[in-house]
Structure 1
Amino acid sequence: MNGWLLASVIIVAIAVVVLIVCIVAVIVPFKNTATVLLAHADGIQKQMNGIQTQTTQLAATADKMNQDIEYKKESVQGVVQSLKNTGTVLNEINDSTQALTSKVIKKAADDPKRQAQVEQWTNTAMGFLNRKA
Structure 2
Amino acid sequence: MEIILYLSVALIAVAFAVLVVFISKTLKSLQLTLANVAKTLDGLENQLDGVSRETTDLLHKTNRLAEDIQHKSESLNSVFHGVREIGDSLSTVSHSVKNVSTRIAREGENKSDTVSQVVQWSNAALDIYEKFKLRNRRVERTTEPK
- TM bin (shorter chain): 0.5 to 0.7
* Corresponding residue number in structure 2 for 1:84: 98
Q: What CA RMSD, in Å, does the superposition of the two structures yield over aligned residues?
A: 2.5
Q: How many residue pairs were aligned?
A: 102
Q: Which residue of 1 aligns with 2:19?
A: 5
- Which aligned pairs between 1:51-130 and structure 2 lie closer than 5 A? 51-92=65-106
| Unmatched runs of 5 consecutive residues or more in structure 2 | 1-14, 116-146
Q: Give deviations 1:40-99, integer Å, cap 9, x for gaps.
A: 011011111111112222222223222221111011111122122222333455567788
Q: Return the letter of the residue paired with 1:11.
A: K
Q: Percent identity?
A: 9
5+ long unaligned stretches in structure 1: 102-133
Residue 22 of structure 1 corresponds to 36
- Structure possessing the higher relative contact order (Cα contacts under 8 Å, 6 or more residues apart): 1
Partner of 1:31 in structure 2?
45
- Structure 1 stretches of 4+ moved >6 Å: 95-101
Segment drifting more, 62-71 vs 92-101: 92-101
Deviation of 1:31 (Å): 0.8
Q: 1:105: which partner in 2?
A: none
Opposite residue 63 of structure 2, the aligned amino acid is N
Q: Separation in 2 of the partners of 1:21 and 1:91?
A: 101
Q: Which has the larger radius of gyration?
A: 2
Using the TM superposition, give the Cα deviation of residue 4 of structure 1 relative to its aligned residue in structure 2, in angstroms.
0.5
Work out the CA distance in 1 between the residues paired with 2:42 and 2:25: 25
